[in-house]
Amino acid sequence: MKLILKITGITVGVIMSLGTILSFVKDIKVLFTHESADYLSSISDVNHLTSVLFLFLFFIALFFIKHIFKKILLLLSFFIFWLMSGRVVAFKNFPDGRVITGWYYIEGKSFKLCKENTDCESVLFKETKVKRLSVWRISINNKLTSKIIFIGPLTWGSCTKIFENHIGK
C-alpha cells in the first residue's frame, strides 16, 4: 500500500511539475488557443505563486508525512489547490467569439458565442450578458448559447477580466 501510494504520488508530482514549468513558458498560450499569434486572443494567466507553493507543499507531504491517512488527505488537498491555481480562460473575439476553458493551458472545453459569417461584434457587445454567480462561476448568455463556467478562487480576477473587457455587460 505504501509503495503504491509513493509511486502514484511521485507520478502525480511529476505531472504537476510539468504543468507548473510549462505555465512559465510564454509560447504555451499560443498553443492553448491554436493561434499563430498571441494578440489574436485574450488569455488569462495561471496563478504562478500559488501553483509553485502547492507543488512544493505536495512534495513535502509526499516525502515527509508518515501517517497514511494524513498523507492522503494532504496530497489530495494540495493537488486540488494546485489545480485551482491553473484554471485558464481564453476568448477569441474574431471570427466567432470562441471561449476556451482549461487547466494549465490544456484545453478542456470550448464553445462559440456567435455563428460564423455574422456580425459577431454586435452579438458580443449588445446581446451577450455576463453575470457573476456564487461559488466562483460566471454565466454567459445570448440567443445562441447559455453557459455556466467554473472559474475558481485562485484565478478569479484574471479570468473575469477577460470577459469584462470583451463582452457587453
Q: What are phi and psi of 98, to 5 degrees?
A: -80, 135
User: What average pLDDT score do residues 127-151 get?
Assistant: 90
What pLDDT does residue 50 have? 95
Percent pLDDT > 90 in the chain is 50
Q: What is the pLDDT of residues 1-28, one digit of tens each?
A: 789 989 999 999 999 999 999 999 887 8
Identify the pLDDT of residue 62: 94
pLDDT bucket at 63, cuts 50 / 70 / 90: very high
Could you give phi then psi for residue 150, rounded to 5 degrees? -85, 130
Q: Are 130 and 163 in contact (CB under 8 A)?
A: yes
